Amino acid sequence: MNDGPQIVGIAGLIGERARAEMLTAMLADRALTARELAEVAGVSKQTASAHLARLVEAGLIAVRAEGRHRYFRLADADVAQLLEALMGVAFRTGALRLRSSPREPALRKARSCYDHLAGELAVMIYESLLRQRALQWRDGSLELTTAGYRRFQGLGIDAADLSIKRRPVCRACLDWSERRHHLAGTAGTMLLRRILELGWATRPRDSRVIRFSAAGERSLRACFSG
């Protein structure tokens, strides 16, 4: 007898093509309608609704009703991390799309991974924070050091905001395109939010791409150099 929870049901739900496309679209951490998700998956609205009902029942996504509309998004950061990890395995094993999106290079450079930054620039930030000892591993867990809290405060992020939510302050998330880690958890969320507030980057409505201006990227690299 195998120990632990059964993964067959969840794996089957994620593994179906249309559902996989819809779940990937929700990695942008935006609430989407069944019609929008149907377009992403290339299926009818009725078919999409049936898929979404199964994903809601399984606890992989959440639904919110506003008037006549229903909006869907990933249930939580754990589901997002699972999807990002699966994309990393797919990338490593060569399970790539037959036609690459024109946005592929931009996605690899900087994108949203649920509510935090992923891609080349995110990995650069994570590794810089480790070198500066703003982050450290202790007993198998990643934590923000005292120097790290000061570092985030210097960026205009209130230290109190980093610990008010019921989730880890820091978490290492494996980046599918870089095959190294980027920063997740509350610290990752607050950092992406601050980057957008500073105007260093923008977040297009229809994409996971995080677009840095030339000046914004220079500011980011200057901030996390060393």
CB 27 within 8 A of CB 74: yes
Question: Does 1 fall in a domain?
Answer: no
Give the CATH number of the domain where residue 60 resides. 1.10.10.10
107 or 99: whose pLDDT is higher? 107
Counting the structural domains of the chain, the total is 2
Residue 2 lies in a domain: no
Looking at the fold, whether 57 and 85 belong to one and the same domain comes out as no
Task: Tell me: do 157 and 189 sit in the same domain.
Answer: yes
Please report the pLDDT score of residue 159 as a whole number. Answer: 80
Are 62 and 92 found together in one domain? Answer: no
In this model, does residue 98 exceed pLDDT 50?
no
Give the span between the Cα atoms of 199 and 196, in whole angstroms: 5
Out of 34-38, 89-93, 190-194, pick the least confident: 89-93
Domain shared by 66 and 86, yes or no? no
6: left (phi over 0), alpha (psi -120 to 50) or beta: beta
pLDDT at 84: 83
End-of-domain residue from the set 34, 51, 75: 75
- Identify whether residues 149 and 42 lie together within a single domain: no
Split at pLDDT 50, 70, 90, the class of 208 is confident
Residue 97, pLDDT above cutoff 60: no
User: What is the band of 95 on the pLDDT scale with cuts at 50, 70, 90?
Assistant: low
Output the furthest CA–CA distance in the chain (Å, rounded): 58
Domain of residue 173, residue span: 80-223
Which residue among 45, 75, 105 closes a domain?
75
**Whether residue 168 sits in one domain with residue 147:** yes
Residues 63 and 87 reside in one and the same domain? no
Question: Residue 100: what pLDDT?
Answer: 45
> Domain check: are 113 and 206 in the same one?
yes
- How, if at all, do strands 135-138 and 116-118 pair? unpaired
Q: Specify if 64 maps to a domain.
A: yes
Tokens of 145: 């050091």
Q: What local confidence, expressed as pLDDT, does residue 202 receive?
A: 95
Distance CA 132, CA 199 (A): 25
Q: Are residues 44 and 95 in the same domain?
A: no
Q: Are 136 and 182 in the same domain?
A: yes
Same domain, 111 and 216: yes
Residues 219 and 131 in one domain: yes
Question: Is residue 159 included in any domain, yes or no?
Answer: yes
Q: Is 34 exposed, middle or buried (0-12, 13-18, 19+ CB in 10 A)?
A: buried
